[in-house]
Amino acid sequence: MKVIIAEKPSVAREIAKVFGANTKREGYIEGKGYTFTWAFGHLLQLAPPQEYGFYGWSVQNLPMLPQKFKLSIRKVKTKDGVVEDPAVKKQLDIIKNLFEEATEIIVATDAGREGELIFRYIYYYLKCKKPFKRLWISSQTDAAIKDGFRNLKPGSDYDTLFNSAHCRSQSDWLVGMNATQALSISAGTRSVLSLGRVQTPTLAMICSRYIENKNFVPQTYYQVSIQVDKRGQVFRALSDKNFKTKEEAQAVLDKVEDVPTGFPQGANIISVEAKPRKELPPLLHDLSSLQQEANKRKGFTADQTLSILQSLYESKLVTYPRTGSRYIGDDVFAGISALIDKFTGHPDFGKQAIYLQGVKLSKRSVNAKKVTDHHAILPTGETAHQLSADRQAIYDLVVGRMLEAFHQDCIKEITKIVVESGFKFIATGTVISVPGWRAVFNDTDDDKKDEENPALPKVQQGELLPITEKALLEKQTKPKPLYNEASLLKALETAGKEIDDDELRYAMKDSGLGTPATRAAIIETLIKRDYVAREKKTLVPTGTGLAVYEVVKDQKIAQAELTGSWEKRLEEIRSGASITDFQEEIKTYTRTITQELLKAGVSLKAKPGASTPVKA
């Protein structure tokens, strides 16, 4: 009997369906001589310090450098404390029994570093010796699955991928566990002061932005604005320059020939320029972009959006949610037209779905090469019944974005009028001439400016018009805003883009900080540690958060570059480089940072009121 093991039940079901196997058992499906089973993500994790004899939190144990790492069953928090997750234990038992009966194992965990690790940890934990082959597919359509099974790879082809995954896992453990204990012990506080490769740079981003924002000194500047009247249709134009002093602006204002000062036609139209601008449809959503959108539109936290999306996925209403790709392959695209047809009766989007039936669909989101483990988030087309308000809201964002993504370009008419009246003034106006994809949600532009006119009246070069009003405007430069969840998610995604070192930047280009599946959890961790607090939509550091930031801000552990340098080495390991060099470097680094934090953490002692939130 051949056993196929997937990363999660949904994938095992898809594969079983392709084989025509449909006998459902507890924890697996069987039929046609095959057995299809699954994990639930990582079932096993590197064992905690006490399993190597490092009891309590004590300087004597530091740095903790286990000779050989052990695996332990994933834990879950209950009212009786932290225990092995019973569901995980049960599934592991099922897998163990299936592996014992297997003649061959086919590994169908997700095609990536962590997917490989999920399987190998199970395989080694169960001390399994059976031969295994690897299914390597990037989409779960029938065709892709069939093709993948015709091209199964030898399991050993992925040994180096496992090595890189195992190194990632161990390194995070060594640096995270040791740094956390070192800082917590030396600070002498009761609470946990955690540090890690991802959470600490994230905290640093929030804190440095907060400090920059708080210390920002606004600069005052001045502008002159005029209101021009074209037979009852008025528009505003602004001086084409900002002035540092009020006097300069006043001088310009005085020269404006407006009606109240006795000039019936003081505005001279110098030029009129109208240009169409095309806006391509947006890409389909990945998890991060959906979290950002839901935060902006509905105020949902990243964590809320993920959990709502997970429940929609479990109800089979949307495809796999924790994807980092905003694209689909041609195979999925082939079914899009039929999928859109299912939404022609939707109360908000029905009209646009009907419209799309008659036009050529945009292929901007179609690119098989940019589909990684999973494709972009789509509705499945299953009928949604009686969704709660929150689930409906997220579901509609998914459906609406699908319609937008395959819709047509939006065409805008950008008009610029230059007016002269003692000085040069400029009016710009934007009119949507063809809404295209913008018809789906029918909302205004995100980057709308206060000064912009929605539409401008038709005027001609050389025309002389009355200026009905003029004004001197006093304005102030603004600091970069504090992070909210949407802008932080974006910043985590793009972290590393500004690294000077070409190789490190390249190593991080597809990853950023954290992964789509973990970013919401990282934000929650910072809040749980009392490092960061939510104040309405913004994320504000607490006294504790700022104090920890002060201690670590110049250290490697607070820089996104650390991830970049690891990614570079891990990629080398994947292509065959030795793992021992990297492991030795990590050990050395662990010793160094542990020593440094044991000294530096003392500055956190007895900070009065260190845990009270700081007002924005």
Partner DNA sequence: GCAAGGTC
Which amino acids are annotated catalytic?
320
* Least Cβ distance, residue 320 to DNA (angstroms): 7
Q: Which of 37, 138, 325, 525 binds DNA (CB under 7 A)?
A: 525
Rounded CA-CA distance 469/2 in Å is 82
518 part of the interface to DNA, by CB under 7 A:
yes
9 part of the interface to DNA, by CB under 7 A:
yes
* Least Cβ distance, residue 41 to DNA (angstroms): 2
290 part of the interface to DNA, by CB under 7 A:
no
For DNA, give the closer residue by CB, 42 or 607.
Answer: 42
Rounded CA-CA distance 417/424 in Å is 10
CB-count exposure of residue 173 (10 Å: 0-12, 13-18, 19+): buried
Q: E-assigned strands of 460-515?
A: 464-465, 467-476
Q: For residues 539-598, which are near DNA according to CB under 7 A?
A: none
Burial 270-308, CB ≥16 within 10 A → b, else e: eebeeeeeeeebbbbbbbbbbbbbbbeeeebbbbbbbbb
State the CB neighbour count (10 A cutoff) for residue 435. 16
Q: Which of 196, 400, 429, 601 binds DNA (CB under 7 A)?
A: 196
State the residue for tokens 């005027």: 459
State the CB neighbour count (10 A cutoff) for residue 38. 25
200 part of the interface to DNA, by CB under 7 A:
yes
Distances (CA, A) of 66 to 175, 177, 488: 12, 12, 35
* Least Cβ distance, residue 465 to DNA (angstroms): 60
Query: Do the beta carbons of residue 479 and residue 216 sit within 8 Å?
Result: yes
- 234 membership: H or E segment, kind and range: strand 233-239
Token pair listed for 456: 């401008």
118 part of the interface to DNA, by CB under 7 A:
yes
* Least Cβ distance, residue 238 to DNA (angstroms): 46
Q: Which of 78, 151, 191, 233 binds DNA (CB under 7 A)?
A: 191
310 part of the interface to DNA, by CB under 7 A:
yes
Tell me the number of residues near DNA by CB under 7 A.
Answer: 56
Q: Which of 98, 102, 195, 284 binds DNA (CB under 7 A)?
A: 195
* Least Cβ distance, residue 431 to DNA (angstroms): 44
For DNA, give the closer residue by CB, 44 or 272.
Answer: 44
List the one residue out of 43, 49, 39, 92 whose CA is nearest residue 69. 49
List phi, psi (to 5°) of 615. Answer: -70, 145
Q: For residues 458-517, which are near DNA according to CB under 7 A?
A: 514-517
DSSP string, 50-97: GGGT--SS-GGG-S---SS--EEEPEEEETTEEEE-HHHHHHHHHHHH
For DNA, give the closer residue by CB, 356 or 522.
Answer: 522
* Least Cβ distance, residue 339 to DNA (angstroms): 22
For DNA, give the closer residue by CB, 134 or 322.
Answer: 322
Q: Which of 314, 474, 510, 584 binds DNA (CB under 7 A)?
A: 314
Stretch that binds DNA, among 45-53, 239-247, 349-357, 432-440 (CB under 7 A): 45-53
List the one residue out of 175, 258, 68, 3 whose CA is nearest residue 592. 175
List of residues contacting DNA (CB under 7 A): 7-10, 40-43, 45-46, 48-50, 54, 56-57, 74, 81-82, 87, 110, 112, 114, 118, 168-169, 172-173, 176-177, 180-181, 184, 190-192, 194-200, 310, 313-314, 320, 322, 514-518, 521-522, 525
